[in-house]
Amino acid sequence: MNVLGQTGERLQSKATILNVNDHPATLYLVSQTLRLAGYQVLEASTGREGMAIAAGKPDLVLLDVHLPDLDGYEVCRRLRAQEETSGLLIAHLSAVSVQREDRIRGLAYGADAYWTTPIEDEELLANIEALLRLQRRAQEAIRVRDDFLSIAAHELKTPLTALRLNLERALYLTARGTGDTLPKATIDKALKPAVRQLDRMRQLLDALLDVSRLSRQRLNLEVGTVELMDLARDVALRLEPHARASGVELVLEAPREPVVLFGDRLRLEQVLNNLLTNAIKYGGGKPVRLRVEEQADMAALTVQDQGIGIAPEDQARIFGRFERATSTRQSDSLGLGLYIAKEIITAHGGSITVMSELGHGTTFQVNLPLRRTERY
């Protein structure tokens, strides 16, 4: 029997349910319903037996209230009290304790749900699917949080380590000076790298703050008139020393007429800075082209490199949080740049696309409407 559709099938194919009931006929009928729906089913007929099996951490414990040794309330309380089973999903299913007070008691002892029979198979399965779906969403949120903390800690540790080494070097040099004046070049050599690492930490923290704002949909735009070519020229000028140091020529292709739109200039600079920085970094030392043009009712920004490229299967996910294109693109970044860029562009009512082929470079194109939009 399948009454849940494709989403239910995916949940069921991976879910294990422990069915605890001392009534043989009820135990059989409920277990059969679950198996026909695609769940893996474990069975127990006493509270102690159920607790022993629950130590294996099934996805859901379907727990009768009336059992011959320990009642379901006590089993639930004990499972919650033990660290290894405290996070189990537990639902009471009772044919006898059906009063409001029974439900309150069951939930107070730690059950996640309290259902009473008679109950149609379809309703029982729908309730189970909903409970499992909520559980998995909570688990996914925890996983994302843990990944976020792990990546942030790793990325912040790198500039902190370099900063400490540079400051220790500066202290060492001043200690050796023994009252003599140190040459300015020596001091600069010791302290300028520390300043760069502080800038790197600031950029990382800004990225983390942006992700936090985006998760709460609080990316406020300071909208005004923006001349896109003027913006592109400013960003390219700031990045010119970085490009030159990487052996990259920045080629700026300008339109015949100004391209004007309504948007947040600082946020759009952030988008272009990210795209150009990536192109310089992964462009293989070859020229990077930045083109500004007007297409119908859209303003278009195109950044093209001739570097290593991005595999087709990676081109969709690179706009996700903490994503990098391939293992060859390991870098001192959180994998947030393209995610933040896409969200900023979306907030402007625009879009960003990528075209790439391994070994033949990558082209990002940003399209922005030539009108005022307020999404945030």
Q: Give the CATH number of the domain where residue 205 resides.
A: 1.10.287.130
Does residue 150 share a domain with residue 96?
no
Does residue 166 share a domain with residue 235?
no
Does residue 361 share a domain with residue 256?
yes
Per DSSP, the chain holds a count of helices (H) and strands (E) of: 10, 12
Range of the domain at 43: 5-119
The Cα–Cα gap between 159 and 245 comes to 20
What percentage of the chain carries pLDDT values higher than 70?
78
Mean pLDDT of the chain: 82
Question: Picking from 51-55, 95-99, 252-256, 284-288, which range would have the lowest pLDDT averaged per residue?
Answer: 95-99
Does residue 94 share a domain with residue 149?
no
Is 21 contained in some domain?
A: yes
Does residue 239 share a domain with residue 210?
no
Structure token digits, residue 261: 């739109």
Q: What is the per-residue pLDDT across 183-231, written as a single tens digit (0 to 9) for each?
A: 777 777 777 777 766 766 776 676 666 665 555 556 677 889 999 999 9
- C-alpha distances out from residue 120 to 30, 33, 34, 127, Å: 11, 10, 12, 11
Strand 362-369 and strand 351-356: the pairing is antiparallel
Does residue 328 share a domain with residue 289?
yes
Does residue 360 share a domain with residue 266?
yes
| Cα–chain center distance at 211 | 9
Is 39 contained in some domain?
A: yes
Cβ 33 vs Cβ 41: under 8 Å: no
Domain CATH code at residue 39: 3.40.50.2300
Is 334 contained in some domain?
A: yes
**Number of structural domains in the chain:** 3
Does residue 45 share a domain with residue 14?
yes
Does residue 194 share a domain with residue 152?
yes
The mean pLDDT value for 286-297 works out to 91
- Alpha helices per DSSP H over 283-362: 337-347
Is 38 contained in some domain?
A: yes
Does residue 149 share a domain with residue 19?
no
